Amino acid sequence: MSALQPISGKDHAAGGETYDVVVVGAGFAGMYMLHKLRGLGLTVRVYEQGDGVGGTWYWNRYPGARCDVESMQYSYSFSDELQQEWDWSERYAPQPEILKYANHVADRFKLRPDIALNTRIDQATFDETANTWRVTTSDGNTVTAKYVVLATGCLSNARMPDIKGLSGFKGKVYHTGHWPHEPVEFTGLRVAVIGTGSSGIQSVPVIAEQASHLTVFQRTANFSIPAHNAPLSQEEREAFRAKYPEVRRFAREETRNGIYTEMPDRGALDDGDNERRTRYESRWAYGGLTFMAVYNDLALNKAANDTASDFVREKIAEIVKDPQTAKLLQPNNHPIGTKRICVDTDYFATFNRPNVTLVDIRSNPIEEILPNAVRTAARDYEVDALVLATGFDAMTGSVAKIDIRGRNGQTLNQKWAEGPKTYLGVMSAGFPNLFIITGPGSPSVLSNMMVSIEQHVDWITDCIAHMRDRGFEAMEAEKQAEESWVAHVNEVAHTTLYPQANSWYMGANIPGKPQIFMPYIGGVGVYRQICNNVAAKGYEGFVMTAVEQPQKIAAS
Ligand SMILES: Cc1cc2nc3c(=O)[nH]c(=O)nc-3n(C[C@H](O)[C@H](O)[C@H](O)COP(=O)(O)OP(=O)(O)OC[C@H]3O[C@@H](n4cnc5c(N)ncnc54)[C@H](O)[C@@H]3O)c2cc1C
């Protein structure tokens, strides 16, 4: 086969179609990947297990679901026409609007003809002789592709808790990450929400307004900052759009988390008590994730972090009237920001409602689900419906579900048994021509994901163009470069407070999952620079192979 002439058609040996690239997943990552690869004139097939595009926003339809990075920034930047013409209605758009946006993008860029919906990828096997991947779909077809791009999402594998008796529950059971498409009515019902991470914190206030009684089962109290969500006026949108070039550049190049905001110029202990409180009050009043940007050392210095953690704990005590409940809601087992910080609308105030009860399942664990109740070590709570807000097998969960076999028949799951190993978060040694978008070892979930998705897609596209232009057939991360990167990711994580929390960043929410810090904490600006440097040095740390001779680009 020639080096990446656009190819498409029947591969008779495999019994299926042949493409230049197979992309797995049609969320924001998969859709943009398709758009960019088409720009290279390549044949691309996207496979999506859901029956619509949008990924996260297709699956997470729970009450109160919305983004927590402001919509003017949680949106694609690759098309100025798109960002100028799309009107976000609120500061933080609700899930239906973000899903509408994803569908608009699919139509506007005519993506649908190359996306196969309702089709899961179950297996991908590298053929070392042909330098191609054989990809098997849930309907039993096998297609062949030179490249496979995993756009499978970091938070797409919903975690079902293993609770005795769950399957015998007589009422309806919902998982926030697999919410039904038809409206769910809780009016007049006694509802249990299990889990108080981001999805629980967003859904609790909305469900409380409908349910006759809501019982919230909390294992870990989490820090949450008020969103202060509000409609966006035309003037606000226009003002933001006018500065888009600088907003996007700044978010990509200058920040750690991909969010345009005022950057801190000092540490928390550089200010006296009064000045510090004024600053925290002002960020609290502004709302949202940028609370953590008030000082530059909150993720680094425990004493500095304590000032912010204490401030939020005090706010919780001010809002929640019952002191016992307030105490339970005050996070006390991790520094603020070391677990994903939540953004809420009236979460803490919801516990002042007479129809809401908080149950601490750290001291009284759930023992069993009965047909009509949740049984804890202390007592039974009768309920009519269960909402599982128990999160995801994050970052690796959806990749692990695919049987991926690279060189010498090694599976990716075997290779990652001790924790994911990648070079730059985009490739794993021994798995040539297999790219991962926002994979472990990249900033991914620590950032505005739109920024990270676009950066990876652009980088992968450039890389494939580079290979095509130079006649390379296969590209693979070098083992040594990968080991150095894994060590670097780990080292940077341990200069911060992050590893102090039992978070899903560490895999700690999944029993038996190896606990290593998965995302790269160095920040999106630094990371982008590293990736650009690697590319500028002819993809340093990767081995590219032409049909005739291998070319090694050693990492310095
Ligand atoms: C409730 C919620 C709110 C969030 N809010 C924000 C926010 O405000 N800001 C932010 O930056 N990030 C947020 N995130 C993270 C969010 O996941 C990303 O922002 C982004 O949507 C990820 O896009 P993606 O395309 O990489 O992955 P996804 O949107 O997860 O899409 C991956 C797709 O791949 C499909 N797939 C997986 N495996 C297979 C397979 N084997 N075969 C076929 N298809 C497969 C899945 O069905 C899914 O549709 C949020 C996540 C959740 C769950």
* pLDDT tens column, 131-148: 999 999 999 999 999 999
Do residues 162 and 155 make contact, with C-beta atoms less than 8 angstroms apart? Answer: no
State residue 502's pLDDT score: 83
Q: What is the pTM of this model?
A: 0.95
Handedness of CA 125, 9, 469, 533 (dihedral sign): negative
Per residue in 169-207, pLDDT (tens digit) is 999 999 999 999 999 999 999 999 999 999 999 999 999
User: What does the pLDDT read at residue 5?
Assistant: 39
* Mutation probe of ligand 1 site: the residue of 53, 56, 95 with most atoms within 8 A of C-beta: 56
Question: How many other CB atoms sit within 10 Å of the CB of residue 135?
Answer: 26
pLDDT at residue 376 in the model: 97
To test the pocket of ligand 1, the residue of 111, 152, 399, 413 to mutate (highest count of ligand atoms within 8 Å of its CB) is 152
- The DSSP call for residue 391 is -
Distance from residue 274's CA to the centre of ligand 1 (Å): 41
393 lines ligand 1 (CB under 6 A): no
Q: What is the rounded end-to-end Cα distance, in angstroms, of the chain?
A: 33
> Which residues lie closer than 8 Å to 122 by C-beta, 6 or more apart?
136, 137, 138, 402, 403
CB of 326 sitting under 6 A from ligand 1 = no
Ligand 1 pocket residue status of 69, Cβ below 6 Å: yes
Q: Is the beta carbon of 225 within 6 A of some atom in ligand 1?
A: no
Mutate to test the pocket of ligand 1, among 449, 451, 452, 505 (most ligand atoms within 8 A of CB): 449
For residues 147 and 22, is the Cβ–Cβ distance under 8 A?
Answer: yes
Give the residue whose CA is nearest to atom 4 of ligand 1: 67
Instruction: Please give the C-alpha separations between residue 112 and each of 34, 41, 53, 77, in angstroms, as whole numbers.
Output: 10, 17, 9, 20
Which residue, 5, 154, 44, is CA-closest to 453?
154
- Which residue CA neighbors atom 12 of ligand 1 most closely? 449
Q: Rg of the chain's alpha carbons, rounded to an integer?
A: 24
Q: Which of 88, 154, 156, 174 to mutate to test the pocket of ligand 1 (most atoms within 8 A of CB)?
A: 156
- Residue 343 CB less than 6 A away from ligand 1: no
Tell me if 482 CB under 6 Å of ligand 1. no
Query: Which residues does 322 contact at the CB level (< 8 Å), separation at least 6?
Result: 351, 352
Residue 468 backbone phi and psi in degrees, to 5: -60, -45
pLDDT in tens, 352-365: 999 999 999 999 99
Site to substitute for ligand 1 among 32, 76, 105, 155, most atoms within 8 A of C-beta: 155
How far apart CA 19 and CA 2 sit, in angstroms, is 13
Nearest CA to ligand 1 atom 42: 120
Ligand 1 geometric centre to CA of 272 (Å): 42
Contact by Cβ (8 Å): 406, 433 = no
Atom of ligand 1 nearest to the CA of 402: 41
Closest ligand 1 atom to 155 CA: 17
- Residue 217 Cβ contacting ligand 1 at under 6 Å: no
Token code pair at residue 362 = 């750290």
| pLDDT by 10-residue block (mean), the chain, 556 residues | 39 70 98 98 98 98 98 98 97 98 98 98 97 96 98 93 96 97 96 97 98 98 98 97 97 95 94 98 95 94 98 98 98 94 97 98 96 97 98 92 97 94 97 98 95 98 97 97 95 91 81 84 97 98 81 58
Does residue 121 have its Cβ closer than 6 Å to ligand 1?
Answer: yes
Four-residue CA torsion sign, 234, 236, 240, 242: positive
* Average pLDDT of the residues of the chain: 94
pLDDT tens-digit map of 57-82: 999 999 999 999 999 999 999 999 99
Using alpha carbons only, what angle is made at residue 119 by residues 460 and 450, rounded to the nearest 5 degrees?
Answer: 35
Question: What does the pLDDT read at residue 12?
Answer: 40
Ligand 1 closest atom vs CA 58: 49
Question: How many Å lie between the centroid of ligand 1 and the Cα of residue 56?
Answer: 4
The DSSP letter of residue 273 is: H
